């Protein structure tokens, strides 16, 4: 979770094909996606390696999973984030929290003592090493994020229940203090579910060989899939390898989904940049992370400047720059435009921006290139900003590929073969092919 206030929002509901199931590596979970726009899917033939189960979720600005935890079960909602490892829940009621987990009433809750091998070995991938809480002699964990948010508490075992399946002994953080830079948004959820490659992440503890998601940019549909599956209608994915560096480096996240960005193309023109501009340096600064927890895409300063200048050059006749040197959207997006009219315009005539990875390419076009700034109008005009930002302005020493540019792209994270696959597809149609029809903005799935 690179930026807590840039999160995608999903809510997961369970529809089961079997009464009881476990999570072996050859089993697949399907999760239909319902997208709702706030402030920030007739069956076709498909084959899976085992029985399938389906869930549903939606998103606007943050991404949440609905499930139950504890014995007896307590309903919780957790932000689903591929940029984080530790899953955690708020365990202390405060006036600004609408939902907390109460461990005192759960028979299956087991805190982890300081001296437990779990405290010393399973927490090795966390950015902040686990410590011993002197008050209760429990394994103390703390997490901080790039937007200055932080949370801390104790590591514990608990039963996590998804539908009718129980995962006993799941390791998570039971958090009792912290600071949020966006407390209003954070108060809507109980905690966070980490999905990166660390040993404590949700996907690692559950043992899934891969997971995929497809976020619709057309309507309120989409799909999240946990496990392995093959679809005749999806076509071939283009894969890029996950980059792994074993040596610890100060600015390198070793458990992130890191790929190698090799170049950027605007229209048919490849930016004139050396390969070294995209390669991490000796400190680890400059890695490229695929992160569903970040809304937009952020590029290191020199690369961002080159992209900004070329996009300006190619759009000077079709877009009117918003000339306010004091306005920077979300702290890092300083290329904005004044667009005539308040209705939703078409940006189909804009040049496509292609992110060129080793063996794969992700293209951003049309409406995904510009984002309307909420509640900001100039007379009868709207203000739109370029959906690539300058990571230097945020103090982030990395390239981050956010979820906005992953819309209408089938994203597969193959943990066994250590690679990420891309395929452009209408994600609303993908949901329909999986028997998950789109949900209108005023409909609810029970």
> CB under 8 Å, gap of 24 or more: what pairs does 124-129 form?
124/199, 125/85, 125/198, 125/199, 125/200, 125/254, 125/255, 126/85, 126/86, 126/198, 126/200, 127/253
- Residue 266's DSSP bridge partners are 269, 353
- Distances, alpha carbon 194 to alpha carbons 65, 124, 327, in Å: 11, 15, 33
DSSP secondary structure code for residue 103 in this structure: G
d(CA 204, CA 194): 10
Dist CA 266 CA 156 (whole Å): 49
3-class SS of residue 131: strand
Q: How far is CA 361 from the centre of its chain?
A: 19
Residues recognised as catalytic: 81, 291
| CA pseudo-torsion sign 331, 336, 342, 345 | negative
CA 12/CA 31 separation, integer angstroms? 7
């Amino acid at each position: 979770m690179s930026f807590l206030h840039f999160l995608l929002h999903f809510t997961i509901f369970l529809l089961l094909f079997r009464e009881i199931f476990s999570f072996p590596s050859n089993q697949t979970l399907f999760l239909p996606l319902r997208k709702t726009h706030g402030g920030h899917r007739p069956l076709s033939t498909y084959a899976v390696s085992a029985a399938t189960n389906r869930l549903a979720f939606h998103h606007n600005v943050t991404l949440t999973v609905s499930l139950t935890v504890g014995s007896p079960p307590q309903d919780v909602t957790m932000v689903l984030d591929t940029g984080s490892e530790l899953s955690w829940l708020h365990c202390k009621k405060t006036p600004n929290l609408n939902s907390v987990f109460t461990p005192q009433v759960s028979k299956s809750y087991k805190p982890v003592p300081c001296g437990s091998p779990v405290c010393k070995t399973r927490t090795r991938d966390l950015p902040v090493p686990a410590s011993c809480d002197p008050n209760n002699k429990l394994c103390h964990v703390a997490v901080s994020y790039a937007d200055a948010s932080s949370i801390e508490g104790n590591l514990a075992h608990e039963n996590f229940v998804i539908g009718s399946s129980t995962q006993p002994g799941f390791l998570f953080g039971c958090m009792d203090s912290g600071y949020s830079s966006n407390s209003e948004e954070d108060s809507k959820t109980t905690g966070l579910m980490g999905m990166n490659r660390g040993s404590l992440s949700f996907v690692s503890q559950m043992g899934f060989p891969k997971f995929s998601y497809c976020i619709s940019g057309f309507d309120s549909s989409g799909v999240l899939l946990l496990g392995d599956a093959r679809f005749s209608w999806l076509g071939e994915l283009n894969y890029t390898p996950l980059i792994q560096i074993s040596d610890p480096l100060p600015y390198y996240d070793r458990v992130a989904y890191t790929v190698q960005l090799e170049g950027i193309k605007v229209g048919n023109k490849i930016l004139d940049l050396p390969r070294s501009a995209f390669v991490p340096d000796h400190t680890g600064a400059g890695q490229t992370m695929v992160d569903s927890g970040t809304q937009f895409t952020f590029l290191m300063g020199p690369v961002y400047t080159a992209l900004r200048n070329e996009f300006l050059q190619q759009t000077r006749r079709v877009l009117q720059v918003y000339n306010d040197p004091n306005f920077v959207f979300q702290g890092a997006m300083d290329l904005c435009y004044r667009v005539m009219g308040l209705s939703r315009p078409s940006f189909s005539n804009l040049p496509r921006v292609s992110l060129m990875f080793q063996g794969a390419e992700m293209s951003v076009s049309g409406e995904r290139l510009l984002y309307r700034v909420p509640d900001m109008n100039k007379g009868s005009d709207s203000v739109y900003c370029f959906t690539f930002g300058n990571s230097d302005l945020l103090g982030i020493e990395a390239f981050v590929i956010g979820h906005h540019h992953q819309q209408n792209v089938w994203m597969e994270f193959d943990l066994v073969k250590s690679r990420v696959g891309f395929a452009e597809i209408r994600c609303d149609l993908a949901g329909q092919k999986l028997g998950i029809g789109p949900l209108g903005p005023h409909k609810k799935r029970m």
